[in-house]
Homo-oligomer: A and B are copies of this chain.
Amino acid sequence: MNLREQMTALAQRSQKAARALAKLDAATKNKLLLAMSDGIEKAADKIKAANAKDLEAGKKSWLSSAMLERLTLDEKRIADIAKSVREVAALADPVGTTISETTRPNGIRIQKVRVPIGSILIIYESRPNVTVDAAVLCFKTGNAVILRGGSEAIHSNLALAEAMNVPGLPANAITVVPTTDRAAIDELLKLDELINLCIPRGGEGLIRAVVEKSRIPVIKHYKGICHVFVDRDADLDMAERIVINAKCQRPGVCNAIETLLIDAPLAGTFLPRIEKALAERKVEIRRDADWQTEYLDLIIALRVVNGVGEAIEHITKYGSAHSDAIVTNNKATAERFLREVDSSSVFWNASTRLADGGQYGFGAEIGISTDKLHARGPMGLEDLTSYKYVVTGTGQLRE
């Protein structure tokens, strides 16, 4: 079999698994999730041995120490991964719930019922724990998953998938693409009749390449150019706390801000104050930025704008429609900002760092979308479902 045939066969098995998974009830899925958690704990030594292979190869290919650190699976990390699986078991299962129900004048009852999406392809370049995270969220929602992680983690990912392959799990419910050949991704992305959704997670380059090649619907965000706008009517103490939190609490993530917009009347008051506060935290301030760079570091672009209108214009032009905040005590100004800024999450007097599935109460997060279709913003279990219309009648016809 050539690579195309191999990937087609793999996707066919995954689609078949999806049909079996769709029939499982919540109790069965949760029992299997607990078994997977146990399976991971029991396989700790095997997983560490596989991980050691990846680490050895990584050292030989001169991976950075930060990369090696992220790749490492020790006893504690494996225990944490197993614990996170038990947490997913405890969440409510959205599949089978009724989104809406109506009875029409002719007596038919129309129920809009959540169903799994089918087979989901996750392409990522992150830590091996994503393998388990993505697998269990897809499984919880009755979806089959095809996982294509970074080639540097292939042995770890295969060992984790094996540990999750517990008795009673439908065959091919969780598939790790068994080759690190990049051409395998290209073949998979053509299979829009076998794979229902692709979620790429990683750098902008990876995601653009996936969108370019995919015939499968893709949900993603390219990057997070997030803003805080401090309005003339802001509580300046609150503004300082929010700016510092949004920039410094974890600068390397997508919902941290890259740009601070300050309303012109605050140029003599808040501006010097926040410059001092940022400098104290070793944040480099760029007044002459390109406004479109995702620093992911202790660097902030700073611009003085004249009023909320200019702030909205700046965010519309340079932002990435991810998460943007206004700090103000003026309700009318806030409402205009919340309405006109077309981002997946808009904040009034709160930090952009709160744009997160956990913070929003979803219990888990499969990613964040800046797309407008299907799912937008932090994505939880519901976003891994589709729906069908179930129509019940007593012989109704189309007149």
Contact B235 A359 (CB under 8 A): no
User: Assembly of this chain: how many copies?
Assistant: 2
Whether A166 sits at the interface, judged by CB under 8 Å, is no
Q: Which residues of chain B are near A211, meaning CB under 8 Å? A: 192, 215
| A contact residues, total (Cβ < 8 Å) | 67
Interface centre among A212, A359, A394 (most CB of B within 10 A): A359
Complex CA gap A387/B360 in Å reads 15
Complex CA gap A311/B219 in Å reads 34
Whether A264 sits at the interface, judged by CB under 8 Å, is no
The contact string, 1 if C-beta is below 8 Å from chain B, for chain A 181-196, is 0000000000010001
Complex CA gap A302/B373 in Å reads 39
A399: shortest Cβ distance to chain B, in Å?
8
Within 8 A of B (CB), among A293-332: 316
Contact A342 B115 (CB under 8 A): yes
Q: Which residues of chain B are near A393, meaning CB under 8 Å? A: 347-350, 354
The SS class assigned to the A binding surface is mixed
A361: shortest Cβ distance to chain B, in Å?
6
The contact string, 1 if C-beta is below 8 Å from chain B, for chain A 376-399, is 111000000011111111111110
Whether A339 sits at the interface, judged by CB under 8 Å, is yes
Interface centre among A118, A391, A397 (most CB of B within 10 A): A391
User: Which of B118, B316, B351, B397 lies in contact with A19, CB distance below 8 A?
Assistant: B316
Whether A49 sits at the interface, judged by CB under 8 Å, is no
Contact A249 B398 (CB under 8 A): yes
Contact A353 B241 (CB under 8 A): no
Chain B interface: which of A102-110, A148-156, A284-292? A102-110
Interface centre among A108, A117, A397 (most CB of B within 10 A): A397
Whether A67 sits at the interface, judged by CB under 8 Å, is no
Contact B342 A391 (CB under 8 A): no
Contact A390 B346 (CB under 8 A): yes
Q: Which residues of chain B are near A389, meaning CB under 8 Å? A: 344-346, 355, 360, 376-378
Whether A72 sits at the interface, judged by CB under 8 Å, is no
Whether A130 sits at the interface, judged by CB under 8 Å, is no
Complex CA gap A351/B398 in Å reads 7
Contact A241 B346 (CB under 8 A): no
Q: Which residues of chain B are near A348, meaning CB under 8 Å? A: 390-393
Given A215-B212, A372-B117, A391-B348, is A342 in contact with B397 using a C-beta cutoff of 8 Å? no
Whether A197 sits at the interface, judged by CB under 8 Å, is yes
Whether A23 sits at the interface, judged by CB under 8 Å, is yes
Whether A164 sits at the interface, judged by CB under 8 Å, is no
Of all chain B residues, which has the CB nearest A346? Answer: B390
Complex CA gap A387/B346 in Å reads 11
Q: Which residues of chain B are near A377, meaning CB under 8 Å? A: 387-389
Q: Give me 26 A-to-B residue pairs in the complex whose CB atoms sit less than 8 angstroms apart, sorted by A's number.
A: A102-B361, A104-B359, A110-B361, A115-B342, A117-B372, A212-B215, A217-B373, A219-B373, A242-B395, A343-B388, A345-B391, A346-B390, A349-B394, A350-B391, A350-B397, A351-B396, A351-B397, A351-B398, A354-B391, A355-B389, A359-B398, A373-B386, A376-B386, A377-B388, A377-B389, A378-B389
A residues contacting B by CB (< 8 A) are 19, 22-23, 102, 104, 108, 110, 115, 117-118, 192, 196-197, 211-212, 215, 217-219, 235, 238, 241-242, 245, 249-250, 316, 338-340, 342-351, 353-356, 359-361, 371-374, 376-378, 386-398
